[in-house]
Chains A and B, each alone.
Chain A
Amino acid sequence: DAKTTQPTSMDCAEGRAANLPCNHSTISGNEYVYWYRQIHSQGPQYIIHGLKNNETNEMASLIITEDRKSSTLILPHATLRDTAVYYCIVRPWGGSQGNLIFGKGTKLSVKP
């Protein structure tokens, strides 16, 4: 079972920041927070991951609370092409820990 809780859906106006929350209250010390997204009828796309520090890359920023029980993915200037299902996943570091377990994710709709 997925170890995360996300809202089922969210709307965001084009050009505004999209803030997608994720609850992972049972996260273990060796588990990272990963974010992927899936645009309709495509394979998932890696966005970002982090352990406890905030992370930023060209796609998004990841803010993890100090207690690590929740996080927020921020798309700073959402575009229509960011409409997708966003998955928050917790997983231990390293390949030996295997696959990603996908929950239901958050369906983000960016509207003009």
Chain B
Amino acid sequence: GAVVSQHPSWVICKSGTSVKIECRSLDFQATTMFWYRQFPKQSLMLMATSNEGSKATYEQGVEKDKFLINHASLTLSTLTVTSAHPEDSSFYICSAYYGVSYEQYFGPGTRLTVT
């Protein structure tokens, strides 16, 4: 089956710094990847859709200048949280389409804590 990895699995950073999260499709090419955010005891919320070689499409209310997404290759998308604040602390999860039926396969998630 399709495997999506994320790195790091958890990260702690200081307020005001930036942090990059990587999402990789390990055994398939992913032209479209998605980034979700999940706060404690809440469901997943889509942040943006990332297409290889083009600009990401952000959901309403998501600051594109704060959450920078780069999908430079068919196997890698990155999410950079710029000038992080404690309220950005969350569980960030990526996913990718796989196969002719466009199933979404999810990465294991990255736990971000901003102190």
Residues of A within 8 A of B (CB): 36, 38, 41-46, 49, 87, 93-95, 98-105
Q: List 12 A-B contacts (CB under 8 A).
A: A38-B44, A41-B111, A43-B6, A43-B95, A44-B95, A46-B104, A46-B106, A49-B101, A95-B97, A98-B49, A99-B34, A102-B43
Residue of chain B at shortest CB distance from A92:
B102
Interface band, chain B: 20 to 34
With A and B bound together, what is the CA distance between A46 and B102 in angstroms?
Answer: 12
- Please give the residue numbers on chain B whose beta carbons come within 8 Å of chain A beta carbons, in ascending order: 4, 6, 32, 34, 36, 43-46, 49, 91, 93, 95, 97, 101-109, 111
Chain B hits for A98, CB < 8 A: 49
B49's partner among A45, A87, A99, A103 (CB-CB below 8 A) is A99
Please give the distance in Å from A4's CB to the nearest CB on chain B: 12
| Given A95-B102, A100-B104, A104-B43, also A43-B109 (CB < 8 A) | yes
Q: Which 3 A-B pairs have the closest CB atoms?
A: A43-B106, A95-B102, A102-B44
**Complex-state Cα separation, A101 to B93, whole angstroms:** 14
- A69, B93: Cα distance in complex, Å: 30
| Closest chain A CB from B60 CB (angstroms) | 13
A105 touches B95 (CB 8 A): no
Nearest neighbor of B98 in chain A, beta-carbon distance = A46
**A residues in contact with B34, CB < 8 Å:** 99
Check if A46 sits within 8 Å of B93, measured CB to CB.
no
Q: What separation, in Å, do the CA atoms of A100 and B101 have in the docked complex?
A: 14
- Are A44 and B106 within 8 A (Cβ)? yes
Residue in A42, A43, A95, A102 with the greatest tally of chain B CB atoms within 10 Å: A43
> Do B44 and A44 have beta carbons less than 8 Å apart?
yes
CA distance A87 to B102 in the complex (A): 18
Expressed in whole angstroms, the Cα–Cα distance for A102 and B36 within the complex equals 10
B105–A103 CB distance below 8 A:
no
CB pair A99–B108 under 8 Å, yes or no, is no
Q: Determine if B46 and A101 form an interchain contact, defined as CB atoms under 8 angstroms apart.
A: yes
Chain B residue nearest in CB terms to A98: B49
